[in-house]
Amino acid sequence: MLKNVSFVVFSLATCASALCQGDRITVIKEALRPGDTEPVWVNISGLTGEALETLEFDLYVQGFNFTNAANAQYLISGSNNGNLQARAIDAINKNTLVGRAYSGASLRRQVHAFADDFVQALGRKGIARTMIAFKTEVGRNSEIRVADFDGANVQQVTRDNTIVAAPAWVPGRFALFYTSYRLGNPNIFHHDLATGRQTVFAKYSGLNTSAAVSPDGRRVAMILSKGGSPDVYVCNIDGSDLKRLTETREDESSPCWSPDGQWICFAGKINERRALLRVPANGGPVQRIATVGAGNPTEPDWSPDGQWIVFTRQSRDFEICIVPANGGRGGDATILVSGEDPSWAPNSRTIVFTRRQGDGRRVLYLLDVFTKQIKDVARISGSNSQPSWAR
């Protein structure tokens, strides 16, 4: 059984911020352009060691960067003698955004809590206390593990002693779907992380893989080859009411859901050329999603705010690209960085992905889509890939 991990394991002391006092705060909206947006400048003082390192990591992968107090838009100060005390001030509007004392958890968790409070005061969704799942190579086999988004608190989920792949979180639950060969065929399993209970979800003849759960947690899209070639199917979360959505002779892969649950995006082929496609979740004609300037797309993931689709471009190297989900900008894609296996964070701006190393290992990285700031998740050892971010 996997140790039950709480997303909120800290307590907050009495709020002393201007937010609690009802003062008006003006939030400066950023002009967000993928790969071409300036970072938000922050100055941090008073924090040391692990607290400083953790906060800088949390903010950097969300589009912040660090400078002196005179040039910063936001001033963060505090102390970390045992517990964390921290305050964030808007240097432009002269308002206190957050001013709190944190206790009841590890120092790292306290800093994550402050980072979330700070970005939420700016009108964003915090991600510092979220988790990721991923595949780890173990000799010739692989297993599924989970960790905090920054690579701390790694825990092994499976012990299948075979090939596993494609972990996918169930939204709002401490549970995963994944593919495993443990019964000799690539089948889809459901794993309750709180209890350790595993159940077979799909074991049709042929390929069963790439489960993706709808945002409301009620339906599952997946790739099955029970009808011949790998196609997109959808069913209820209990496995009932299985429906085939596509029927082609081409291999299809990597389904993902639109945030409203109305569409499923996937990778397929048109006239033998790979493309991103979408199909109504209840069935209907397949439509193409333009990726101008980034041919041979695969591995799509739809941002939680519905604005963007990130995907992998397969050329000489693998590259992470992004395109407007609504076809805006004529479907022009932006190439961001080298890598593959992208998965959105709940904030719709940070992505976890895989990058291949010269020694053959695969390492997880975090990317801020708009500034292209990038950090490796160095705390996680081994060769890791196919990350999935919990939402």
pLDDT band at 64 (very low <50, low <70, confident <90, very high): very high
Shared domain for 100 and 135, answered yes or no, is: no
Q: Does 2 reside within a domain? A: no
Query: Residue 303 and residue 176: Cα distance in Å, rounded?
Result: 19
CA 364 to the chain's CA centroid: 11
pTM: 0.91
Mean local confidence (pLDDT), 235-243: 97
Average pLDDT, the chain: 92
Pairing of strands 40-45, 64-66: parallel
Query: Residue 352 and residue 127: Cα distance in Å, rounded?
Result: 12
Pairing of strands 340-344, 243-244: unpaired
First to last CA, the chain: 22
Shared domain for 102 and 141, answered yes or no, is: no
Shared domain for 103 and 138, answered yes or no, is: no
Shared domain for 107 and 169, answered yes or no, is: no
Domain that holds residue 175: 131-389
- State the total domains in the chain: 2
Q: What is the CATH number of the domain that holds 224?
A: 2.120.10.30
pLDDT in tens, 71-98: 999 999 999 998 999 999 999 999 999 9
At CA 11, angle to CA 6 and CA 17, rounded to 5?
130
Shared domain for 295 and 368, answered yes or no, is: yes
Q: Which of 121, 149, 181 is the last residue of a domain?
A: 121
